[in-house]
């Protein structure tokens, strides 16, 4: 890893994020709704609303607390003309269908009382036809005081009919006019949006397609303004590929770590949903043996300053991809291996709502179904128990959150991730009481091992020193003597020294 060149928020490396698509997570009876809503459990559609809201999130915080979540990432919440709310009408108003500003304030109060941070989604590259400034442009043409807020090519504008638009739009979509961020008034407007919601208590921003605002000075000032309000504000960019430009401590703290997603899928996936994956921003996933996986991940860890590595938003799925269970072809063994690797590696893991109970769904809109609160039979209870245990272990074991990292591949179907706290001698053991404080005091080393083979794998002593270990996931004992330790077929273990 490179040396740090800027300040990164300390809390992020300890966080477990949970991503919420507000229209689909939970619906509260306290928020009035229009009558034309999709049935909650009906298959999701591109344009339909299901009526989820922010008070619904408040009412379901117990589920997130029991899961072990410590931070929420919310898809856009501002007034909009789309269920996903990436078509922003008003950057300074929470959508009334979500409960308005009061509901966000209630969520911030309730989440913070539980020790949960809240990060909002900011869409600053483009807005919507409903934005006041763009609507004025449609009404008044070249006489509009906002004519230079957008990239206008010709008049009259054609925002709703066929033919040339007359203005630049994201991906050519008429509903998403691109903002002219080169205009000082637009820059000041967007910087003020960033400040405004931090002043009201949010803990950071996830920035949508920030690479399409190809202007480092804009983002550097955005960071400066945000950090002036909250020195610990987390800024994470939606960058799908290499992010060296963005992670030197002067723009973003981390990015959505899709390259790691691809690497994990390439290692553990046997029956990938290649067509669904190809339709998403993940594009293709290359099959990887253990040795190439280790090399790929080492490259990711070495590309950025240490603070950025530990501030990455690591994920297996989002609103822009098929659900992880679907991506992996419904393969339960691959699913558990993928989650183990995600939680064993540096960075803040993020769980997309419903993935903890095994929801399935292909590319948008199918990955955006209503959370089945009323259909407990649709929940994978074994997976939920596994996720709770994995999250609890990450919380209890500081080596998994803040420790050094070493990867190895003793054979091409076995990956070993070793984590330890610098300053510990590695000799510490989990005592008979299993006390996490003992592990912290001893500077204990942990070993996450993933075996992708169809038969149990032995682990060489060079990868796992001789001794007695406890699998923190299952509670079982593993003895390593002359390379005799076994990892189950297509299984994974998280080992700690045991005495």
Looking at the annotation, which residues are catalytic?
Answer: 208, 238
Assess whether the previous peptide bond of 313 is cis (omega < 30° from 0): no
CA angle centred on 333, ends 330 and 264, rounded to 5°? 85
Candidates 382, 320, 380; CA nearest to 350 is: 320
357 contacts 379 by C-beta, under 8 angstroms? yes
Classified as helix, coil or strand, 374 is coil
Candidates 281, 329, 345; CA nearest to 494 is: 345
Q: What's the rounded Cα separation, in Å, for the pair 366 and 131?
A: 28
Query: Residue 30 has which token pair?
Result: 């306290």
20 contacts 111 by C-beta, under 8 angstroms? no
78 contacts 34 by C-beta, under 8 angstroms? no
Query: Residue 208 has which token pair?
Result: 């949508």
Q: What's the rounded Cα separation, in Å, for the pair 354 and 357?
A: 5
DSSP classification of residue 106: H
Query: Residue 229 has which token pair?
Result: 């309000």
Q: What's the rounded Cα separation, in Å, for the pair 132 and 148?
A: 14
């Amino acid at each position: 890893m490179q040396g740090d060149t800027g300040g990164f928020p300390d809390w992020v490396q300890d966080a477990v994020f949970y991503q919420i698509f507000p229209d689909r997570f939970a619906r509260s009876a306290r928020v009035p709704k229009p009558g034309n809503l999709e049935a909650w459990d009906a298959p999701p559609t591109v344009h339909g609303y299901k009526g989820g809201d922010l008070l619904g999130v408040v009412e379901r915080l117990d589920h997130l607390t029991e899961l072990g979540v410590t931070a929420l990432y919310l898809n856009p919440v501002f007034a909009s003309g789309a269920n996903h709310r990436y078509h922003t009408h008003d950057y300074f108003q929470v959508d009334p269908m979500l409960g308005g500003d009061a509901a966000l304030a209630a969520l911030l109060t309730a989440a913070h009382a539980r020790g949960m941070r809240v990060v909002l989604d900011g869409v600053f590259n483009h807005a919507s036809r409903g934005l006041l400034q763009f609507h004025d442009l449609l009404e008044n043409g070249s006489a509009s005081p906002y004519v230079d807020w957008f990239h206008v090519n010709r008049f009259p504008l054609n925002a709703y009919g066929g033919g040339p638009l007359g203005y630049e739009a994201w991906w050519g979509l008429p509903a998403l006019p691109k903002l002219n961020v080169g205009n000082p008034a637009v820059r000041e407007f967007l910087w003020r949006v960033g400040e405004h919601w931090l002043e009201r208590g949010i803990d950071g921003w996830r920035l949508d397609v920030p690479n399409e605002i190809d202007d480092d000075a804009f983002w550097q000032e955005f960071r400066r303004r945000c950090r002036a309000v909250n020195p610990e504000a987390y800024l994470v960019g939606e960058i799908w590929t290499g992010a060296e430009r963005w992670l030197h401590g002067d723009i973003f703290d981390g990015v959505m770590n899709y390259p790691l997603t691809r690497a994990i899928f390439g290692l553990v996936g046997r029956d990938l949903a290649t067509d669904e994956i190809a339709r998403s921003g993940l594009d293709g996933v290359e099959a990887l043996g253990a040795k190439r996986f280790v090399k790929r991940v080492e490259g990711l860890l070495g590309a950025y300053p240490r603070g950025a590595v530990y501030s990455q938003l690591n994920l297996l799925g989002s609103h822009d991809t098929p659900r992880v269970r679907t991506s992996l072809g419904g393969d339960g063994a691959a699913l558990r291996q993928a989650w183990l690797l995600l939680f064993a590696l540096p960075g803040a893991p993020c769980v997309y709502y419903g993935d903890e109970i095994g929801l399935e769904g292909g590319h948008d809109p199918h990955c955006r179904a209503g959370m089945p609160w009323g259909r407990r039979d649709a929940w994978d209870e074994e997976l939920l128990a596994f996720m709770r245990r994995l999250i609890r272990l990450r919380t209890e074991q500081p080596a998994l959150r803040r420790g050094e990292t070493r990867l190895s591949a003793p054979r091409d179907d076995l990956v070993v991730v070793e984590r330890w706290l610098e300053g510990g001698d590695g000799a510490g053991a989990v005592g008979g009481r299993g006390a996490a404080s003992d592990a912290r005091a001893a500077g204990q080393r942990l070993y996450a091992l993933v075996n992708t083979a169809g038969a149990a794998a032995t682990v060489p002593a060079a990868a796992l020193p001789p001794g007695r270990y406890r699998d923190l996931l299952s509670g079982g004992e593993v003895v390593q003597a002359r390379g005799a330790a076994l990892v189950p077929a297509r299984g994974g273990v998280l080992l700690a020294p045991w005495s």
